[in-house]
């Protein structure tokens, strides 16, 4: 059981403004928060958020994989499995509802669709607001049953619990745990929603792959789609995405940019090491076959 998640849950479930709050400041610095919130941006689906979490888990496992429990508030949160399993062959993926996940454990938990709305998490149809008013007029006790369920879902993870939400439908639970009280437990990646759709085929998602020592972002529809994007050379995580003027890292927290190759118009100029020192070269350069040989002096 993850000690940190247990502490978080105790705080979350016992939340009561009347209670004297434990001093979180005394807590020793924690290397990595046990909870990661991934916020899908408008225009992106929850599946993109899920894929971002899976990308991150796959990378962490370094090819060794791990057990991943996907948890939904409802049965209908069960994701589309047709391409997921093929995209993440090293991960052991299973889906359960929060209710049925009680007692289960996995290396990682991903709580899907932590959003607002009738079929959100917390569910806005289960709790009876009138009953809640009778029980307590304190907002901290609203959604008591949903809070317990959320606690169950989050604590299924031995390592990290990922919570997938959407920027236009953020769950009140997410807003709450992104507050200063929980900052030691929670990291929020509003940055990327790195599960980026392949611009070539439009149907696949970019997945980090390795060929020898070289990492790159390939399409989940490979071998049907052979699209390749560069990994950001600064943060080593983001995807370098081309727009009209330059390549930009998909992680807004990073924001690295690189020029488009003026010769082929497709490749990205990167710093390479040459016999006479570093220079700028095109990523479309290949040792044989058709390639772009454009080079440029490094501007001082
Ligand atoms: Zn593609
Ligand atoms: Zn970057
Ligand atoms: Zn070029």
Q: What is the mean pLDDT of the chain?
A: 79
- How far away, in angstroms, is 295 Cα from ligand 3 center? 8
ipTM for the complex? Answer: 0.88
- How far away, in angstroms, is 160 Cα from ligand 2 center? 23
The ligand with the least distance to the CA atom of 87 is: 1
- 207 - beta bridge partners? 218
Residues 231-246: pLDDT tens digits? 988 888 788 988 889 9
| Range 221-234 average pLDDT | 87
Each domain of the chain, given as residue ranges in start order, spans 3-189, 196-259, 268-300
DSSP annotation of 238: S
- How far away, in angstroms, is 127 Cα from ligand 3 center? 59
Residues 20-64: pLDDT tens digits? 333 333 233 334 678 888 888 766 777 888 988 888 888 777 667
| Range 107-120 average pLDDT | 92
Nearest to 36 by CA among 2, 62, 65, 66: 2
Radius of gyration of the chain (CA): 22
Count of beta carbons in the 10 Å neighbourhood of residue 287: 5
- Higher per-residue pLDDT: 64 or 255: 255
Q: How confident is the model at residue 19 (pLDDT cuts 50, 70, 90)?
A: very low
- How far away, in angstroms, is 241 Cα from ligand 2 center? 10
Share of the chain above pLDDT 90, in %: 25
- How far away, in angstroms, is 64 Cα from ligand 1 center? 25
- How far away, in angstroms, is 197 Cα from ligand 3 center? 24
Please tell me the distance from the alpha carbon of residue 47 to that of residue 53, in angstroms, as a whole number: 10
Q: How confident is the model at residue 191 (pLDDT cuts 50, 70, 90)?
A: very low
The ligand with the least distance to the CA atom of 282 is: 3
Which of 29-33, 51-55, 197-201, 255-259 is least confident? 29-33
- How far away, in angstroms, is 188 Cα from ligand 2 center? 17
The ligand with the least distance to the CA atom of 223 is: 1
Contact 42, 72 (CB under 8 A): no
Nearest to 107 by CA among 153, 57, 67, 161: 67
DSSP secondary structure of 34-83: SEEEEEEPTTS-HHHHHHHHHHHHHHHHTT--EEEEEEESSGGG---HHH
Q: Is 25 helix (H, G, I), strand (E, B) or coil?
A: coil
Tokens standing for residue 220: 């989940």
Q: What is the pLDDT of residue 243?
A: 87
The ligand with the least distance to the CA atom of 198 is: 1
Please tell me the distance from the alpha carbon of residue 209 to that of residue 297, in angstroms, as a whole number: 30
Residue the block writes with tokens 């899907």: 112
Q: What is the pLDDT of residue 27?
A: 31
pLDDT at 100 over 50: yes
Please tell me the distance from the alpha carbon of residue 11 to that of residue 118, in angstroms, as a whole number: 26
Size (the chain), residues:
300
Per 3-state DSSP, what percentage of the chain is helix, strand, and coil (rounded to 5)?
20, 30, 50
| Range 266-282 average pLDDT | 91
pLDDT at 193 over 70: no
- How far away, in angstroms, is 265 Cα from ligand 3 center? 6
3-189 adopts what CATH topology?
A: Rossmann fold (3.40.50)
Pairing state of beta strands 228-230 and 214-219?
A: antiparallel
Q: What is the pLDDT of residue 62?
A: 64
DSSP secondary structure of 152-219: HHHTTEEEEEEEEEETTSB-HHHHHHTSGGGTTTEEEE-S-----B-TTTSSSBEEEEEETTEEEEEE
Q: What is the pLDDT of residue 237?
A: 78
| Range 239-262 average pLDDT | 87
- How far away, in angstroms, is 242 Cα from ligand 2 center? 13
Q: How confident is the model at residue 101 (pLDDT cuts 50, 70, 90)?
A: very high
- How far away, in angstroms, is 11 Cα from ligand 2 center? 34
Residues 63-87: pLDDT tens digits? 677 899 999 999 999 998 877 888 8
Q: Which residues are CB-contacts of 272 (< 8 A; sequence separation ≥ 6)?
A: 278, 279, 280, 281
Q: What is the pLDDT of residue 262?
A: 95
Q: How confident is the model at residue 141 (pLDDT cuts 50, 70, 90)?
A: low
């Amino acid at each position: 059981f993850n000690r940190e998640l247990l502490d978080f849950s105790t705080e979350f479930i016992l939340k009561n403004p009347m209670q004297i709050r434990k001093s979180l400041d005394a807590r020793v610095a924690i290397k990595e928060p046990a909870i990661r919130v991934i916020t899908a941006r408008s225009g992106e689906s929850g599946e993109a958020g899920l894929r971002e979490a899976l990308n991150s888990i796959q990378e962490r496992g370094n090819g060794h994989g791990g057990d991943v429990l996907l948890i939904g508030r409802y049965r209908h949160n069960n994701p589309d499995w047709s391409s997921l399993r093929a995209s993440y062959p090293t991960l052991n993926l299973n889906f359960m509802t929060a209710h049925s996940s009680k007692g289960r454990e996995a290396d990682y938990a991903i709580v899907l669709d932590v959003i607002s709305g009738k079929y959100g998490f917390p569910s806005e149809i289960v709790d009876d607001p009138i009953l809640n008013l009778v029980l307590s007029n304190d907002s901290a006790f609203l959604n008591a049953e949903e809070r317990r369920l959320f606690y169950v879902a989050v604590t299924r993870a031995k390592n990290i619990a990922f919570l997938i939400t959407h920027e236009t439908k953020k769950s009140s639970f997410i807003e709450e745990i992104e507050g200063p009280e929980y900052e030691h437990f929670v990291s929020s990646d509003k940055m990327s929603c790195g599960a980026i759709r392949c611009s070539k085929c439009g149907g696949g998602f970019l997945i980090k792959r390795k060929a020898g020592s070289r990492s790159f972002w390939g399409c989940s529809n490979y071998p049907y789609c052979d699209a390749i994007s560069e990994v950001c050379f600064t943060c080593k995580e983001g995807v370098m995405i081309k727009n009209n003027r330059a390549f930009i890292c998909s992680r807004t927290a990073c924001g690295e940019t690189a020029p488009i190759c003026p010769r082929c118009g497709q490749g990205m100029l990167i710093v390479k090491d040459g016999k006479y020192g570093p220079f700028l070269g095109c990523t479309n350069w290949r040792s044989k076959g058709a390639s772009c040989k454009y080079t440029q002096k490094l501007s001082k």
